[in-house]
């Protein structure tokens, strides 16, 4: 049996841009994607800590080192510049692997620069 497991999380990233005119997704700094083992086009869940909203979307890779966290398209209605969000990715794996799997947690500062990993 396969289980869907929390794979990684970017903890309390700050939204730097909201682009309603773009056709959906979230743009994330490539440094953060690499650290969290998230790839372009991967489905992620966004949890807005300021207003409680949750949504699922897909990832676009942003400029490396930019600190970019941009909500695009309809997602721009769920978060505004300055909001703190969690970016969570999931993976499917066999139950025997899921019970021993350790997710990655990436901690960032107010400029979305990595300050720690767990």
Provide the b/e sequence for 100-118 (b: ≥16 CB within 10 Å).
Answer: eeebbbbebeeebebeeee
Q: Decide if 25 is catalytic.
A: yes
* Residue the block writes with tokens 């909500």: 71
For CA atoms 24, 5, 115, 86, give the dihedral sign.
positive
pLDDT given for residue 24 in this prediction: 77
Residues 6+ apart with CB under 8 A from 7: 37, 89, 90, 91, 101, 103, 104
Provide the b/e sequence for 45-80 (b: ≥16 CB within 10 Å).
Answer: ebbbeeeeeebebebbbbeeebbbbbbbbebbebbe
pLDDT at residue 59 above 90? yes
pLDDT given for residue 23 in this prediction: 78
Q: Which candidate in 58, 61, 66, 90 is catalytic?
A: 58
Structure pTM? 0.96
Q: Does domain 2-117 have CATH number 1.10.287.3510?
A: no
**Tens-digit pLDDT profile for residues 16-51:** 999 999 977 999 999 999 999 999 999 999 999 999
Q: Decide if 6 is catalytic.
A: no
As a whole number, mean pLDDT of residues 80-99 equals 98
Alpha helices in 16-94 (DSSP H): 30-36
pLDDT given for residue 31 in this prediction: 99
- State the average pLDDT for the chain: 97
> 48: which strand partners?
85
């Amino acid at each position: 049996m396969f289980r869907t497991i929390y794979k990684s999380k970017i903890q309390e990233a700050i939204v730097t841009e909201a682009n309603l005119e773009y056709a959906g997704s979230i743009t994330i700094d490539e440094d953060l994607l690499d650290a969290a083992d998230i790839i372009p086009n991967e489905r992620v869940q966004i949890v807005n800590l300021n207003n409680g909203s949750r949504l699922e979307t897909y990832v676009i890779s942003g400029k490396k080192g930019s600190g970019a966290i941009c909500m695009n398209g309809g997602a721009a209605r769920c978060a505004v510049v300055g909001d703190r969000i969690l970016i969570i990715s999931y993976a499917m794996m066999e139950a025997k692997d899921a019970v021993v799997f350790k997710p990655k947690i990436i901690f960032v500062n107010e400029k979305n620069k990595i300050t720690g990993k767990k």
